[in-house]
Chains A and B, each alone.
Chain A
Amino acid sequence: MDVILAGGLIRALQGLSSAAPTLIVGLFIAAVFRYYLGQAGTQRLFGGDGLRSLPQAWLVGMLLPVCSIGVIPIIREMKRMGLRPGAITAFALSAPLFNPLSLLYGLTLSRPLVIIGFALGSLLVVTLLGLIWDRWATKAGLSEVPREENPIGLRRLGFCLLYMSRELFGTTGALALVAVCGLLILGACLPHGALQGSVEQLDPLAPAKMALVAIPIYATPMLTMSQLGMMFAHGNSPGAAFCLLLLGTGMNLATLWWIVKSYGKGATALWLSALVGIVLACAYTVERPLIPPGVEPAGHTHAFDIYTNPLHQGTPLSFERIWDTATKTIGFSEWIGLAAVAMIALVGLASRAVWPAATESFLAHVPAKPIIAPTSGLGQHVSSRTVGMTCLVGLIAFSVVACYAYYPAPEEVLEEMRLARVEVLSGVASRDYEQSLHWIPILDEWSRKLEVGYAMRRFELRPYQQMQAHLLRKKLELLEHAIEHQSEHHDDHADEHHDDHDDHADHADHADEHHDDHDDHDDHDDHHDDHDDDHHDSHDEEREIEELRMAIMKNSSRLATAFQ
């Protein structure tokens, strides 16, 4: 029971940390909609009331870097401004699917056609769903049209900050916690390593199973991209991958919760049924055509290990162990995001609980705009819409710059890979397998960044380069498995030694019981046979690990030559 709860909590904490950066982005975008673009500007951005609002909402969603938690404050603001429900859900579903970072990452994972096909598939889904949703929820969506006057200058920035903090320490924050509850439930219910064999290609149940499990999932676009990559590399079901993308990344429990609260249970049930139905129809359609050629099905996938309990049954629990497991996957950017979320939430706490009257009074007072403003220089008036659009375009430009920062130049990546490779191989050579297991995923990720970074700067990625990067990742995965097998053997061997010692102690106690002697001899013989087999297995694995170490070393020079 302790392991179940601890595993669920670890997954929830990891989810919260990965949501932090994009939650702040989502709050910022919502503040821009509210205080800069206003109702008219936001309506125009999302295509107004016409049919084009659905593809336009999809396109805006594709460009903005948010996840399915970061999208919550935005859709709340969109509803407040009376946008069409179809456009709201089209944006809510498509915005978390891709962003410039994940799209570039995704293009290296599989054939580019697959990722482009998935993107177009999502357009089809949100358009069909939007049409259905508009029919059922139109009147419910048109409510609370804002009519307030907005201030300008620093006061407006203050309004934005207060809005973000009060949202975070309010409904949006609560919905974010609901979203990570999905991870808590899955982490608690799914034992370690479950789902590994549930999504094999051409398994008729694979997309359906994925659709069921994906709804409570919360995943960032980058995480989903890496999962899609793993699924394609392991020859898993492309239909299940599509379900994971649309239902796992596109929505979470909080999305559902918000839709129920906003539009009612009946309409939500219809919406969800339509969504799952359309996604499954698309998934079964793409199942066969998108099976990658030349990829031998591995019979398993590790893509969903991140949703299962990170702890084995019977694991001794301590606060240090839980903390170490939880923080193992939290990187620098997540820590910064968590710190920023904590600070903004503190401001929200202060404004709601400590100085509520002062905050309300500050927000209520909108000074009259000066009638005469300078026509040049920094003091001149610029329309809210211009400032708002500049903010959004700036955000997209920032995403592009972030792409170049996230995917450095090949020379830098090769140096990082050299350092990571040294750590992996020295861990193998010194049998410090924990070190190797720590660095293998890091080296794997750098190999992907190498491909994307090269393609972004040279506008090409040759098949030879892709093949060498693929070979490195394949060998790294085989090495990871071989090391894990070896570790299991060591653990088994250690347990057997322990048991043997216990047996010897028992023998001393029962030395006068002669009738047991024959049985004991047989047991000894069996033990010897088992030890011989284990010794051979262990020897084979050591040889395999050594061969893989050599192969990775040889690959390094070919990889460097290919990318220079």
Chain B
Amino acid sequence: MKPTRSSWPTRLVASRATQSYFACLFFLLFLGCGQEQESLHDADHYVPPHWPANLMDAAHKMDQRYQGLLDGELDSEDLERNRSELRDLIAWAPEIAADTDLTESQWLPIYELSEKLRKRLEGADTNYADWQSDIDQLRQLLTEAPVSAPGYSDS
């Protein structure tokens, strides 16, 4: 069945669209993406330098970044980096905690507090002093978690 509205713009789009598509596809295939992945080393997952080694380290790094925000002595670039890293650390805290012997009931407060703080950090709230109690509580949960986990011993 022939198209009923085969007017000149239609034919123009037809030829241009088809030609452009194939030109772009071949460009992409043979120039942009057409490199064989020689080594899987390139595919390694990037581990950020501020990724914490354990819960204590997470609490320590969180405290450092938070104090940096409170001091107000950082330039705007460092301030933004500090805020971004604090947001990362808070978002990672549940994952780090879940990879320990903590039970679900011990893990849940860390997760809930992390979610609460993460949402605040995603907003435009810059009144950092207001976050003190939540940050302290999260840090306390993280530092006390290893001791409260089943199977913990002083030795």
Contacts and interface: CB of A to CB of B under 8 A. Distances in A.
Interface of A: 136-137, 139-140, 143, 189-198, 209, 212-213, 215-216, 262-270, 272-273, 293-294, 296-300, 302, 312-313, 462-464, 467-468, 470-471, 477-478, 481, 484-485, 488, 551, 555, 558, 561-562
Contact of B122 (A140, A213, A293, A312): A293
Given A212-B24, A296-B46, A464-B104, A194 B36 contact: yes
Nearest to B99: A471
A294 B118 contact: yes
A484 B40 CA distance: 7
B123 interface: no
A139 B1 CA distance: 10
A215 B42 CA distance: 28
Given A190-B29, A299-B46, A266 B10 contact: yes
Interface of B: 1-7, 10-11, 13-15, 17-18, 21, 24-25, 28-30, 32-37, 39-46, 48, 88, 91-92, 94-95, 98-99, 104, 107-108, 111, 118, 122
Given A300-B43, A484-B40, A273 B34 contact: no
Contact of A140 (B4, B18, B46): B4
A294 B92 CA distance: 6
Given A264-B3, A294-B118, A471-B95, 14 more contacts: A194-B35, A196-B42, A213-B25, A213-B28, A265-B3, A265-B14, A265-B18, A266-B3, A266-B7, A266-B14, A299-B46, A300-B42, A484-B40, A551-B99
A558 B39 CA distance: 34
A189 B36 CA distance: 11
Contacts of A140: 1-4
Nearest to B40: A484
Given A139-B4, A263-B3, A269-B18, A189 B111 contact: no
A385 to B, nearest CB: 28
B5 A136 contact: yes
B34 A462 contact: no
List 3 A-B pairs, minimum CB-CB distance, nearest first.
A193-B37, A294-B91, A264-B3
A464 B105 CA distance: 9
Nearest to A483: B40
B91 A293 contact: yes
Contacts of B15: 269
B36 A312 contact: yes
A239 B88 CA distance: 23
15 contacts: A136-B3, A139-B4, A191-B36, A191-B37, A193-B37, A197-B42, A267-B6, A267-B10, A269-B10, A273-B17, A296-B48, A299-B46, A471-B99, A555-B99, A558-B98
Contacts of B95: 294, 467, 470-471
A555 B15 CA distance: 57
Contact of A266 (B6, B39, B118): B6
A312 B39 CA distance: 11
Contacts of B1: 140, 143, 262-264
A215 B28 CA distance: 13
Contacts of A561: 104
B43 A562 contact: no
A25 B30 CA distance: 37
A209 B25 CA distance: 9
Given A143-B1, A467-B98, A190 B33 contact: yes
Contacts of B18: 265, 269
A327 to B, nearest CB: 23
